[in-house]
Amino acid sequence: MAARRVEERYRSNAPVTTVRPLHHSFLPGSQATNLAKRDRKRNEFRQFFMKTGIIGQASGSAYLEMANTKIICGIYGPRQIPKMEFSEKAKLQCDFKFATFAESRRERRKYTADKEEKEFSMLMVQALESSLILEKYPKSVIDCYVIVLENDGGALNGAITCASMALANAGIEMYDLVAAASIGLNPLNGEILLDPTEAEEIEYKKGGKKGGGVVTIGFMPGMNEITQIWQSGQIPQEKWLL
């Protein structure tokens, strides 16, 4: 207890381990948390639920659920840059955060942004920036806050899709909505799977003889353009040509 970090001593800390409500076990897709029990086809997504406009005070907001992965996003702006510096384009600022209780299979997340969260924030800016018409909003800043309430794989692609919906909900001018998806390469048999769960992601990133890893792609369906590709793990060249 003495080793607890300063910032956490001042907060009320819920138990490290959480128990899910019973009804979750009956929901479709919840079984997919176990590696052996993937209940859908290789090229099948988990079930989606999306809703916009759920945060009253934000300019735009969205909520996205992919089976057990739950993400909420709020957009604030475009608003004036606090310091009166001049820029012809608006600046998009993303803040990606895992809730402290987001992970069921690992230790509690810290309140401060860790390395992964900082990287995801940066990747989100990359994926979304090119879809927005930023020239329309000079001297402005658009703040995008994403919180992953529960992580069961696909947090980054879910966050990008969710943030793009929230941006559209905020009425910000954009060329197209960004939809993101992730695929995993199974190191054991070299199979490619769509929309891996967290357990699968962890397993695949360990790698093996046939490579193994996860690729996330941001895509604008209307314009037929890719806004971002992010790879984690080792994926052999020939797999990319599939």
Partner 1 sequence: MASNMFFFLSAEVGNMKREGGIVQNADIQIDAQIVLPGQLITREVGYLRGHGTYELDGSLYASVSGIVERVNKLISVKPLKAKYPGEVGDVVVGRITQVLQKTWRIEVNGRQSASLQLSAINLPGGAQRRRTTADELNMRTIFVENDLISCEVQQVHSDGQLALHTRSAKYGKLTGGQLITVPSALMKRVKNHFYSFTFGVDVILGLNGNIWISQTIRDDTNYDLKDIRTETKAEITSISREKISRVRNCIQALASAFAPISPDTIMETYEESIDRGLSCSDILKPDNIYEVTQRARLRR
Chain positions contacting partner 1, by CB under 8 A? 53, 59-60, 78-80, 133, 137-140, 168-177, 220-223
Determine the Cα–Cα distance for residues 184 and 186; give it in Å rounded to an integer.
Answer: 6
Could you tell me the CA-to-CA distances from 206 to 25, 33, 203 in Å, in that order?
Answer: 28, 17, 6
User: Based on CB atoms, which residue is closest to partner 1, 177 or 192?
Assistant: 177
Shortest distance (Å) from residue 230 CB to partner 1: 22
Single-letter residue type at 188: L
User: Based on CB atoms, which residue is closest to partner 1, 40 or 79?
Assistant: 79
Shortest distance (Å) from residue 78 CB to partner 1: 5
In sequence order, the β-bridge partners of residue 94 are 144
Shortest distance (Å) from residue 30 CB to partner 1: 31
Terminal CA-to-CA distance of the chain, rounded, Å? 51
User: Based on CB atoms, which residue is closest to partner 1, 25 or 224?
Assistant: 224
User: Based on CB atoms, which residue is closest to partner 1, 52 or 100?
Assistant: 52
Determine the Cα–Cα distance for residues 148 and 101; give it in Å rounded to an integer.
Answer: 9
User: Based on CB atoms, which residue is closest to partner 1, 60 or 196?
Assistant: 60
Asked if residues 153 and 197 have their Cβ atoms less than 8 Å apart, the reply is yes
Q: Which two tokens stand for residue 197?
A: 């769960």
Shortest distance (Å) from residue 27 CB to partner 1: 29
Determine the Cα–Cα distance for residues 151 and 113; give it in Å rounded to an integer.
Answer: 16
Shortest distance (Å) from residue 173 CB to partner 1: 4
Asked if residues 204 and 186 have their Cβ atoms less than 8 Å apart, the reply is yes
Shortest distance (Å) from residue 86 CB to partner 1: 8
Closest to 180 in 3D by CA, of 145, 216, 147: 216
User: Based on CB atoms, which residue is closest to partner 1, 81 or 192?
Assistant: 81
Characterise 77 by phi-psi region: left (phi > 0), alpha (psi -120 to 50), beta (else): left
